[in-house]
Structures are given as structure tokens and as C-alpha cells.
Amino acid sequence: MRKTLRYNVIFRPEPEGGFTVIVPSLPGCVTYGKDLKTARKMVIDAIQGYIASLKKHREPVPTDEGDFFTYVEIERKAPVYA
């Protein structure tokens, strides 16, 4: 029986084009894709490689089961210059 693991990922658009993808729960798991489709494939591959390394070293495999992302908005006041 296969278990589906869930990971939150952040797709960050790059100024020169493409997307950097970060997996916050897997420190150092970062990849890049020239478009969203490629970036998604690359992050799946990066996560699979990361998990394989954890298993090889008999380390626990973290997931984001039950976690979710949201955002908050903070109003920024205009700076006051003297």
C-alpha cells in the first residue's frame, strides 16, 4: 500500500523568468523551473530525492499533513522624515 505524502511548496517568480520552488519543511530543498509546469515537475523530483536520502540515512521523513499556508496583510505606514 502506497501512502501519499503532502508538502507545502512556495513558487517564487524570478525577475529573469521562471520560478524558484522552496519546500519549507525540508530544509535546503530548493529547485527551479523555467515555467510553472517544469517547476512543479522539478519540485516533485527534488522531494523524492530528499526523501530517499532521509530513508537511506534512517532519518525521519517529515510531512506537512495537517499544515496549511495562509497570509496576513500588514499596513505599512509611510516613513516620516524629519
Closest CA to 51 of 64, 39, 63: 63
Q: Which residues of the chain have pLDDT under 50?
A: none
Per-residue cell: 35: 515555467
Contact of 19 with 35, CB cutoff 8 Å: yes
* DSSP code, position 40: H
What is the reported pLDDT for 23?
96
For domain 1-71, give its CATH number from 3.30.160.250, 2.30.30.40, 3.40.50.300, 3.30.750.24. 3.30.160.250
- pLDDT per position as a tens digit, 43-60: 999 999 999 999 999 999
Task: Give me the pLDDT at residue 45, please.
Answer: 98
Q: How far apart are CA 46 and CA 12, in angstroms?
A: 16
Give the pLDDT score at 82.
66
